[in-house]
Chain A
Amino acid sequence: MTDAEILGLSCTALAGAIRARQVSATKAMEATLARAQAVQPKLNAFLHVDTELALDAARLADRELARGYLRGPLHGVPMAHKDMYYRKGVASSFGGKIGPSRPAPSTAAVLERLDTAGAIQFGVLNMAECAFGPTGHNYHYGHCRNAWNPDYITGGSSSGSGTTVAARANFAALGSDTGGSIRLPATFCGTSGIKPTYGRVSRAGAMPLSFSMDTVGALARTVEDCALLLGTLAGPDARDPVSDPRPVPDYLAGSAHPVAGLVIGKPRQYFYDGCDAEIVALMEASLESFRRLGATVLEVDLPDVDSWNAAASMIISAEAVALHGNWLRTRPQDYSAQVRARLESGLTIPAAAYIDSLRLRGVALEAFCRTVFSKVDVLHAPVVAFQTPTIAETDVGGGPGLPALMARLTRLTRPGNFLGVPVLSVQAGFTKAGMPVGMQLLGRPFDEATLFALGHAYQGATEFHRQAPAL
């Protein structure tokens, strides 16, 4: 297999090829490292690459396989993740200067699970500072750039995750999603992304931003990859107080379930307000694909989503500034103007409004499930209502354009975080400008399996996920 053929494989396919000894873990790692080095000057996506450690781990993986020992379903697969997951003895940057000044005392639960499954981490990725930015700008390490066109934003906060997976320089990456940080880079960079149900994946050892809303998920080339990864990452963890105890289904096997007969909801309100005509057309085309697969599309009314968005903003802002308060008071110069401004605004949220926002969450989830999931199995919507902006257009720093930009970018993703429901982002085509566009599928709490079945069936009927940027 050539390097290009290896790099063109999905994470699931590469894992299968390594297991079958069709390609060695060492060869896969060498190809990945070379690709990472080649794209880095254009994308600024890697903060650090551990070449020697990664190659040593890959050689060990090959020796283990030669002895008949398979660590798990990701044995030998190279991966790099945004720099916010603790690795014992290593200091994570959090995409800025506010990373811990001491080495992490323990390894993040999600890294432990990937290690156990056999994945090999070869580096850490650029990200929005403190995961508190939806564009991919980074004023400390340089802006991360979109593999489809380096003038355009990657989306954030999992900026390096999206663009390296799209660029075929990474087989899959962890992401975190508090207000859209998996789905935005997935849609802007043309990858798949899963934001799981709140509590489905342990957050232990992942840098917190907003403990009521933080979720850890993954970005990958295909929905099938996302299913494989979530099956690895999900499950109870005593280290995370909100970790859910229920058993983890076989998401990978479930992704092959037929989708005929499922009902897909198209929202009558909110998600299409002011939506770009090309994006509307791509959403319609994706719904038509689902119809051809045997699903039914039904228009549904939504409850008062605008108020949820406001409440979500208050929760995130108030919790973020509570976590960062000491540093904001003592080391304000170590934050970029943008993150400092966003944190500062959290200090204006009254305690009663913060608590009311939390009280509203359960009421909103009940209303959403009653209104939507009594009629349909999933809700289908665009991830963003406008075409990918350029880095220059969105380079507002901490200036007066910041609040409006943040609100505009996360308007369609934040409701999923407020509700805490699982959301799958899937490529739905390209604009005339050649930039990818994604749809999102929102499911019932803990029903990631239905999302994977629909997304996998859609990718079986379309080719968007197979297209790679010409870097």
Chain B
Amino acid sequence: MTLPVSPEVAAALVSAQGVTPTVESAADDARFATLVLENSARAFSRLAFEDEPSGYAAAQRRNAP
């Protein structure tokens, strides 16, 4: 279960990294972050403790013909 990212949080994150958001862009940023975090949460919760990014290259090699 994830909670929505608020526009205020999105604006704070963007501002803290040196970019000035508008009220509209902060609302869009919040919607985007909420959507992708919500849609990925279940898959992320199933990752094994040992899974790491380099597993991708290994999977490529293993599954090549």
Contact = CB atoms under 8 A, between A and B. Distances in A.
A366 B28 contact: no
Interface residues of B, number: 44
Given A328-B19, A329-B18, A369-B63, A358 B56 contact: yes
Contacts of B54: 362
Interface string B24-42: 1101111111011111101
A306 to B, nearest CB: 6
A373 B14 CA distance: 42
A312 to B, nearest CB: 9
Contacts of B3: none
Given A344-B29, A362-B56, A402-B28, 15 more contacts: A307-B43, A307-B44, A314-B40, A329-B18, A345-B33, A348-B29, A348-B32, A353-B44, A356-B47, A360-B51, A361-B55, A362-B54, A398-B25, A444-B65, A446-B60
A199 B30 CA distance: 33
Interface in A297-323: 304, 306-311, 313-314, 317
Nearest to B60: A445
B63 A348 contact: no
B59 interface: yes
Contact of B63 (A198, A344, A402, A444): A444
A314 B53 CA distance: 14
A331 to B, nearest CB: 11
A403 B63 contact: no
B19 A197 contact: no
Interface in A392-416: 398-400, 402-403, 407
Contact of B52 (A199, A350, A359, A400): A359
A447 interface: yes
Interface residues of A, number: 54
A332 interface: yes
The CB with the most chain A CB atoms within 10 A, among B14, B32, B48, B62, is that of B32
B1 interface: no
28 contacts: A197-B60, A309-B39, A313-B36, A329-B18, A332-B20, A344-B21, A345-B29, A345-B32, A348-B30, A349-B33, A353-B37, A356-B40, A359-B52, A359-B53, A359-B55, A361-B53, A361-B56, A362-B53, A362-B55, A362-B59, A369-B59, A403-B28, A407-B35, A420-B56, A444-B64, A445-B59, A445-B64, A447-B65
B28 A356 contact: no
Nearest to A364: B43
Interface string B8-27: 00100110011111001101
B39 A307 contact: yes
B36 A314 contact: yes
Nearest to A398: B25
A341 interface: yes
A313 B38 CA distance: 12
A304 B40 CA distance: 10
A60 interface: no
Contacts of A398: 25
A445 B60 CA distance: 6
Contact of B13 (A328, A347, A355, A373): A347
A311 B42 CA distance: 11
Nearest to B58: A362
Contacts of B30: 348
B19 A347 contact: yes
A325 interface: yes
Contacts of A365: 56, 59-60, 63
A345 B26 CA distance: 8
Nearest to A337: B25
Contacts of A356: 40, 44, 47
B57 to A, nearest CB: 8
A357 interface: yes
9 closest A-B pairs by CB: A362-B55, A307-B43, A310-B39, A358-B53, A362-B56, A348-B33, A310-B40, A369-B63, A365-B59
B63 A373 contact: yes
Contacts of A362: 51, 53-59
Contact of B53 (A317, A355, A444): A355
B27 to A, nearest CB: 8
Contacts of A360: 40, 43-44, 47, 51
A20 interface: no
A403 B25 contact: no
Contacts of B36: 310-311, 313-314, 349, 353
Given A345-B33, A347-B13, A420-B56, A304 B43 contact: yes
